[in-house]
Structure 1
């Protein structure tokens, strides 16, 4: 129960999607990059959800590394000025779909799960790379991302199934709400 309350408190402390181009001025330092995933509800929920969902997958131990690796690739593309089409919509959909997967306790084979999580990470990384292109901010962002995905994994392992499913439903609703913003 304490872990569920901690996850809800983290989500409640987040603000609207600030991890995107034009969201506001950034100093582009390590601390700015580190704070970035904690201050945007879309990225916070996605990273926690990837970790939580991966904890319940049969071969899920590789999913966090896949997510972080592809997050880095997306960040590099964003830092190079490449922007994925429909980026904001895609990010909101990743949050919604991850929530649905958790709510349904869906299990996928390893390859489709890795491809899906990798695609999600590319989108999130692209948004981060567009907003925080400097190496110092990227390092901070990656450290925070690793912490959030690992934290989600701990929540996924330690939470009762019903609480995790309810959290997944709330994440899915949050993702759908982001689509209307």
Structure 2
């Protein structure tokens, strides 16, 4: 019984974290560097996706450029959001990126370089688009990119130093959290 209450509390925390990261009522954020910098750390979906991209990229052969691809496409996504491009089902898509990255880590999937880059690029475009709508100023975009780089490269370092089993278990936890985010989206 106690475990069910803990699981329910954890689910509520996850749902509230997603809601606080993505205000829907006209953009409640101010738009400075700090706001952009803290944003990826305050939304569980963005935090896990960026860490997962780094973790997964560390185990891909000839994929040192995957983190840079992700960051470049985040910037493209931000620009599309600032320009007003609305992507239908954006929040669900972002949650699915978390789930899929978790699965890829959990099963130690190795993809062809072009497919991996394309997938990571699309994921980054979604995350960047959401941020572009919420944080449209240049200073906030710079903060977002700095924080994203720290998270992706931090995840890459974790992927390099973690034992394979620990990495797979982390991937499974990320995938499960991603599915909870999908259900909440």
- Fold shared per TM-score above 0.5: yes
2:149 to 127, 146, 149: 146
SS of match in other structure, 1:85: coil
2:24 to 22, 25, 30: 22
1:21 Cα deviation after fit: 4.5
Q: Distance in 2 between matches of 1:21 and 1:132?
A: 11
Q: Distance in 2 between matches of 1:53 and 1:111?
A: 15
Matched pairs, number: 170
Q: Deviations over 1:87-144 (max 9, x none)?
A: 0110010000000000000000100000000000000000000100000000000000
Q: Deviations over 1:42-87 (max 9, x none)?
A: 0000000000000000022010011001100000000111111110
Does residue 87 (structure 1) correspond to residue 90 (structure 2)? The answer is yes
Q: Distance in 2 between matches of 1:147 and 1:98?
A: 18
2:73 alignment counterpart: 70
Unaligned runs of 5+ residues in structure 1 are 1-11
TM-score by length of structure 1 reads 0.90
TM-score by length of structure 2 reads 0.88
1:20 Cα deviation after fit: 2.6
SS of match in other structure, 1:124: helix
1:119 alignment counterpart: 122
1:108 to 93, 106, 111: 111
Structure ID, larger Rg: 2
| Runs of 4+ deviating beyond 2 Å | 18-21
Unaligned runs of 5+ residues in structure 2 are 1-12
Q: Distance in 2 between matches of 1:55 and 1:133?
A: 31
SS of match in other structure, 1:146: helix
SS of match in other structure, 2:17: coil
- RMSD over aligned Cα atoms: 1.7
1:6 alignment counterpart: none
Q: Distance in 2 between matches of 1:52 and 1:179?
A: 21
Q: Distance in 1 between matches of 2:86 and 2:52?
A: 24
